Amino acid sequence: MTAPLFLIDVIIAWRLHGLGWRQLIVRYVGPGLLGIAVFGVFYRSPEFFEGTRVISEWEFLQPRHAVEAIELAVGFDLNVLDWTITATFVLIALASVVVLLRTPTLDNATKAALAIMSAISFVGIAHCGRGIWSGQVLLAALVPRWWLARFVDRRLSPGCVLVIILVG
């Protein structure tokens, strides 16, 4: 999740604030070296990533789970619908980044960050920590009239609860 959000920051620094390539490199080298140093202090072996492996086994409700519940109800394969939903979230994220590149505003940066986080959490990963969920809600609050922000705020609507009951 960090790399796409880093891209948003680079676009804002480059396009909105007008920083040159040299300034961008200076801006990111220090924090990058600090991050590597902190990682180096705590990293001792590949066991460092054990928590990530365990967390990746957890699953929360995603659109593909709703499609699976509908498949159970209707009795035929809806794999095309599942892939269409996945592609839609990815395309929304890509389109938001393109809009940010063309028109660098803080609203467009917020929308791009929200679209990226939504694509990753809705279709990319099985487990979302509280930081990701709360980050999405906070970004949605910054652009409340955008349709994706409304979708994020309402994803635990009664319809989602019904799917949870049907699936599990």
Query: Could you tell me which residue, 167 or 87, shows the higher pLDDT?
Result: 87
At 128, the pLDDT band (50, 70, 90 cuts) reads low
In a 3-state reduction of DSSP, which class is residue 104? coil
At 168, the pLDDT band (50, 70, 90 cuts) reads very low
**Across 104-114, average pLDDT:** 91
Is pTM beyond 0.75? Reply is: no
**Across 86-99, average pLDDT:** 92
Where are the chain's structural domains? Answer: 2-167
Query: Taking Cα atoms as reference points, which of 112, 110, 109, 108 lies closest to residue 93?
Result: 112
pLDDT per position as a tens digit, 46-84: 887 777 777 666 666 677 777 888 888 888 888 888 888
**pLDDT greater than 90 at residue 159:** no
Task: Please say whether the beta carbons of 116 and 5 come within 8 A.
Answer: yes
